[in-house]
Structure 1
Amino acid sequence: MDLGFRGDVVDFYHRFRRGYPPEVIDSLTDAFRLTTDDIVVDLGCGTGQLTLPIAQRVRSVVAIDTEPDMLVRARLAAREQEVTNVSWMLGADTDMPTLGAVIGHRNLSAVTIGQALHWMNPEKLFRAMVPFFRSGGGVSVVTNGTPLWLQDTAWSQALRGYLERWLGSELTRTCGTDDPSQLPYRDGLTTAGYDVAATTVDYTDELSAEQIVGGVYSALPVDRLPTPEQRQHFADRLRDVLQPHRPFTEEVRVRILVGRVR
């Protein structure tokens, strides 16, 4: 599947996508009892927002993404942060059975999926991974806040209206962050035999107009990204639309859904 997250989108993604608060990494570490002996797979790793902090808690991480450009930028981020225990792999959820076989039966500690499961086949993926987890290991689905244009604030509503006019289509995709999306994820884990638990981490952030513009660019496939010639006009008009609704306060809820094997 070509998601279009390449080229210029990658730099916007790396600069403007939310990182994860330390409490999220603590929660994952506690949930799977992670130590420096453990191996973790970060599936749909993007440019390493979840990969790199987890790598500091475990022996090694295999980070997988479908987009080569994402992996190139992630490797650079790892070098910049002096993280050396990550292997970057071009692949998708459909490659997990083969990777699991390479890692070995009952040798894998966790698979983390950060705001990417909506691009995958969850039920098939959850079932396929069960044999590879050690006792107490499992899957974690982490969704890092509601998309900027779907929040219950005046500035978010103004943003949504502007984007829908620009793109010519209604924006409804929640990227797996809403209750109707979370419920089938939870049911899929339960059906596959995992013990399931959920927790949240809440925090408040205040965004600049530049962060909102960059966040929008990071979420658009490359074929819908404003061209370099259009971007100044796009950003100026968006700032005008947002200006009456300052400050741009964001209430972020990170959902952490964990499925463990016995």
Structure 2
Amino acid sequence: MTPGLGFRGEVVDFYHRYRHGYPPSVIDALVAAFTLTRADTVVDLGCGTGQLTIPIAHRVHAVVGVDPEPDMLTRARTAAAEQSVANATWVIGTDAELPALGRLFGAGSLGAVTIGQALHWMRPDELFRTLFPLVRVGGGVAVVTNGSPLWLQDTDWSRALRGWLEGWLDRDLGYACGTDTDSQLRYRAALSTAGFDVRETHLRYAAELDLEQLVGGIYSALPVDQLPPPDQRPRFAEQIRRALHPDQRFVEHVDVTLLIGIKNQPPGRRRSATSAV
């Protein structure tokens, strides 16, 4: 994970307000996959403002949210306090700090490590090898993708949005942030090579967005130095409205993929399966 990604300042508020949280069914699937209990500790790597960390905290003994952006962690800490979550700890760091954290936790001490829509900033092969000895038998690693970027979806409004944004930013927006099939196959292979038994679970939900939520979602994905100045934001929103006309509300069909690597015994015996819920 690269420190200083630019997701700070105003972007943090946009991120927390407009990014989709994780449905209860996702948390249920994670708890079931790793048989998580009130005795377990979970690390949420690349935790952002705690949208996955906090709901997991309600189900385990303790959770540690790790992120390179201090502003993200400040907002996560506030969100946890607002929800009376007292068993979450927030740590500034990246995947590069996992060996040091591993020495702190100890071998076999973690119930799970979750990575929600952040693995594309990290080094998966090295990371998964580091994590394997840290998780207990039956625990493991979950790579969770919560839909593809707003401008890369199979709808007319999404295609129109991509066209307008590429003109505004003067660059291609084809990068899928790890949600594409090729990235998922690479992650799956890296988990298997590290010793995990791999399976995949899929969930789907629909989210209806108005123009404010759509624009807020765009702002949440921009580094702070690329945000339009405040006095230009009404014009920015109006230009998007015109580009997407006649749509006024936008239905986003969100595909959630849970790529789950489980540490089973004996280590050499692996299985690969796909399930849907």
Shorter-chain TM-score tier: over 0.9
Matches of 2:117 and 2:8, distance apart in 1: 17
Which of 76, 81, 84 aligns to 1:82? It is: 84
Query: 1:188, 1:225 → 2: CA distance?
Result: 35
**How far apart are 1:227 and its partner, in Å?**
1.4
Of the three residues 32, 43, 46, the one matched with 1:44 is: 46
The residue type equivalent to 1:132 in the other structure is L
Which residue is 2:147 aligned to?
Answer: 145
Corresponding residue number in structure 1 for 2:189: 187
Q: Does 1:73 align with 2:61?
A: no
Q: 8 Å contact 1:197–1:259 — kept in the other structure?
A: yes
Question: What corresponds to 2:108 in structure 1?
Answer: 106
Question: SS where residue 15 of structure 1 aligns?
Answer: helix
User: Per-residue deviation at 1:238?
Assistant: 1.0
Partners of 1:160 and 1:144 lie apart in 2 by 19
Q: Is the 8 A contact 1:100 1:108 kept in 2?
A: no
Deviation sequence 1:127-154 (CA, Å, 0-9, x none): 0111111111110000000110000101
Q: Kindly state the Cα deviation for residue 246 of structure 1 after the two structures are TM-superposed.
A: 4.1
Cα deviation for residue 247 of structure 1 reads 3.8
Alpha-carbon deviations, 1:169-226, whole Å to 9, x = none? 1101101111111000000000111000001111112111111100000000111111
- Cα deviation, 1:40-93, whole Å, max 9, x if unaligned, reads 000000001100000000000010000000001111101111111000000000
Q: What is the alpha-carbon distance in structure 2 between the residues aligned to residue 4 and residue 78 of structure 1?
A: 23
Find the aligned partners of 2:122 and 2:252 in 1 and give their Cα distance: 28
Query: Taking structure 1 as the reference length, what is the TM-score of the superposition?
Result: 0.98
Asked if 2 retains the 8 angstrom alpha-carbon contact of 1:154 and 1:245, the reply is: no
The question of 1:222 aligning with 2:224 is answered yes
What's the secondary structure of 2:225's corresponding residue? Answer: coil
> SS state of the match for residue 79, structure 2?
helix
Counterparts of 2:145 and 2:139, CA distance in 1: 19
Q: Secondary structure at the match of 1:36?
A: coil
Report % sequence identity: 61
TM-score (norm 2): 0.93
Q: Distance in 2 between matches of 1:205 and 1:106?
A: 38
Q: In structure 2, the residue corresponding to 1:197 is in which secondary structure? A: strand
1:106-185 correspondence runs (5 A): 106-185=108-187
Structure 2 match to 1:96: 98
- Please state how far the C-alpha of 1:260 moved relative to its aligned partner: 0.8
Q: Specify every segment of 5 or more residues in structure 2 that has no aligned partner in the other structure, as ranges.
A: 265-277
Structure 1 residue 59 corresponds to structure 2 residue 61: yes
Deviation readout 1:97-141 (Å, 9 max, x if unpaired): 111111111111100000000000000000011111111111000
1:257 aligns with 2:259: yes
State the shift of 1:231 in Å: 1.1
Partner of 1:25: 27
* In structure 2, distance between residues paired with 1:256 and 1:246: 32
CA distance in 1, matches of 2:229, 2:129: 42
Give RMSD over aligned pairs.
Answer: 0.9
198-207 or 141-150, which deviates more: 198-207
Contact 1:9 1:218 in 2 (8 A): yes
Aligned length: 262
What CA distance in whole angstroms lies between the structure 2 residues aligned with 1:48 and 1:125?
A: 21
Worse-superposed segment, 96-105 or 84-93: 96-105
CA separation in 1, counterparts of 2:246 and 2:152?
Answer: 18
Find runs of 4+ consecutive structure 1 residues off by over 3 angstroms: none
